[in-house]
């Protein structure tokens, strides 16, 4: 098996850098401090009331998982948004493309090194997450599902960064565009659905004032934009593990009636699959963007011989 040269170089350089050790130390120090504070509060409650609130351990699991999700959501674009554009700014991209290395090796190597970095952070948080096993409530299957969700989020946000890094020439511009896209996928889809539901609710109040308008109005087909929202996917997973497990309890008061169909019945699976497909499209577009001599002025494919 041939190792990806870009991945090997990035991992070698990253392992020698003190930055990774500093990130691991700060990240795990915060999680450990929160876990110790949670355990201390439980112990103090036992001393005063002789009762143990087991839900607090699930709250700790939810908090740690949410911190990891937020880090994936905002750190992955920063790691990948300057990967290709940084090589272009250092004037090493053209040099790398003159070798026998394929453009896809560059893109996949850069993305894989960033994914490994986030994987190390996620694995390092397992001891804190495992505290919930002492009192139960979360199984190994739940941990596996959570890691799957985190992995899809990391691939999606990383592919967004690598796409803009390949298309744009400046790392600053690609980073800004990456974060704007991530915000559009998360907060943007929620804002669009909330606006659509308010408009539908106003129309329902106008034309059917004698009925319960909230039971008729909804954001319509725009609700399926949430399939591409990584925050909704994560909330659905964590709510099924440490919450009520009913998606409608938080969805319907904000965005209206939630229909029963095959997509809503398998919402998590559908959303993760669609997000992986979107990531694959972005990765393919990034590979195409850095392939030299792809098109000539007549629009015909020039092939690799003109590299």
275-299: pLDDT as tens digits: 999 999 999 999 998 887 654 444 4
pLDDT for the residue numbered 259: 74
Position 300 pLDDT exceeds 80: no
List pLDDT tens digits, range 243-273. Answer: 666 667 777 777 777 777 888 888 889 999 9
CB 98, CB 157: distance < 8 Å? no
pLDDT for the residue numbered 102: 83
Backbone dihedral angles phi then psi of residue 225, each to the nearest 5 degrees: -65, -25
* Tokens of residue 295, six digits: 């098109």
State the average pLDDT over residues 95-103: 78
List pLDDT tens digits, range 136-147. Answer: 667 788 888 888
Do the domain assignments include residue 298?
A: no
Do the domain assignments include residue 306?
A: no
pLDDT for the residue numbered 295: 42
Do the domain assignments include residue 301?
A: no
Do the domain assignments include residue 278?
A: yes
Calpha distance 134→174 (Å, rounded): 44
Q: Write out the chain in H/E/C secondary structure.
A: CCCCHHHHHHHHHHHHCHHHHHHHHHHHHHHHHHHHHHHHHHHHHHHHHCCCCCHHHHHHHHHHHHHHHHHHHHHHHHHHCCHHHHHHHCCCHHHHHCCCCCHHHHHHHHHHHHHHHHHHHHHHCHHHHHHHHHCCCCCHHHHHHHHHHHHHHHHHHHHHHHHHHHHCCCHHHHHHHHHHHHHHHHHHHHHHHHHHHHHHHHHHHHHCCCCCHHHCCECHHHHHHHHHCHHHHHHHHHHHHHCCCCCHHHHHHHHECCCCCHHHHCHHHHHHHHHHHHHHHHHHHHHHHHCCCCECCCCCECCHHHC
CB 166, CB 182: distance < 8 Å? no
Do the domain assignments include residue 287?
A: yes
Q: Which has more pLDDT, 230 or 132?
A: 230
Position 214 pLDDT exceeds 80: no
Position 106 pLDDT exceeds 50: yes
Strand partners, 218: 256
Name, in order, each residue with C-beta under 8 angstroms of 44's C-beta and a sequence gap of 6 or more.
Answer: none
pLDDT for the residue numbered 41: 78
Length of the chain: 307
pLDDT for the residue numbered 296: 41
140-167 vs 55-80: helix crossing angle, rounded to 10: 20
Do the domain assignments include residue 297?
A: no
Do the domain assignments include residue 303?
A: no
How many domains, in total, are found in the chain?
1
Q: Quote the pTM value.
A: 0.82
pLDDT for the residue numbered 263: 84
Q: Which has more pLDDT, 34 or 134?
A: 34
Domain ranges, residue 217: 5-292
pLDDT for the residue numbered 202: 76
Do the domain assignments include residue 96?
A: yes
CB 165, CB 111: distance < 8 Å? no
% the chain with pLDDT above 70: 84
Closest CA to 106 of 122, 123, 88, 118: 88
């Amino acid at each position: 098996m041939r190792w990806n040269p870009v991945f090997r170089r990035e991992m070698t350089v990253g392992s020698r850098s003190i930055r990774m050790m500093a990130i691991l130390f700060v990240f795990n120090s915060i999680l450990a401090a929160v876990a110790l504070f949670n355990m201390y509060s439980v112990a103090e409650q036992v001393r005063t009331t002789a009762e143990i609130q087991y839900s607090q351990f699930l709250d700790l699991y939810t908090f740690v998982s949410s911190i990891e999700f937020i880090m994936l959501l905002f750190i992955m674009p920063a790691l990948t948004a300057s990967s290709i554009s940084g090589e272009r700014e250092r004037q090493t991209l053209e040099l790398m493309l003159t070798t026998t290395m394929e453009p896809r090796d560059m893109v996949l190597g850069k993305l894989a090194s960033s994914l490994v970095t986030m994987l190390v952070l996620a694995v390092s948080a397992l001891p804190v997450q495992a505290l919930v096993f002492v009192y139960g409530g979360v199984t190994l299957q739940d941990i596996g599902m959570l890691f799957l969700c985190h992995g899809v989020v990391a691939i999606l946000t990383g592919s967004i960064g690598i796409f803009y890094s390949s298309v744009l020439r400046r790392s600053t511009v690609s980073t800004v565009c990456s974060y704007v896209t991530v915000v559009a996928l998360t907060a943007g889809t929620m804002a669009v659905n909330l606006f659509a539901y308010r408009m539908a609710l106003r129309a329902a109040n106008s034309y059917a004032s004698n009925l319960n308008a909230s039971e008729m109005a909804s954001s319509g087909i725009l609700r399926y934009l949430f399939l591409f929202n990584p925050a909704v996917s994560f909330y659905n997973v964590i709510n099924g593990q440490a919450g009520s497990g009913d998606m409608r309890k938080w969805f319907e008061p904000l965005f209206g009636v939630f229909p029963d169909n095959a997509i809503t019945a398998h919402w998590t699976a559908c959303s993760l699959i669609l997000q992986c497909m979107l990531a694959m499209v972005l990765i393919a577009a990034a590979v195409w963007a850095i392939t030299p001599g792809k098109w000539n002025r007549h629009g015909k494919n020039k092939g690799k011989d003109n590299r």
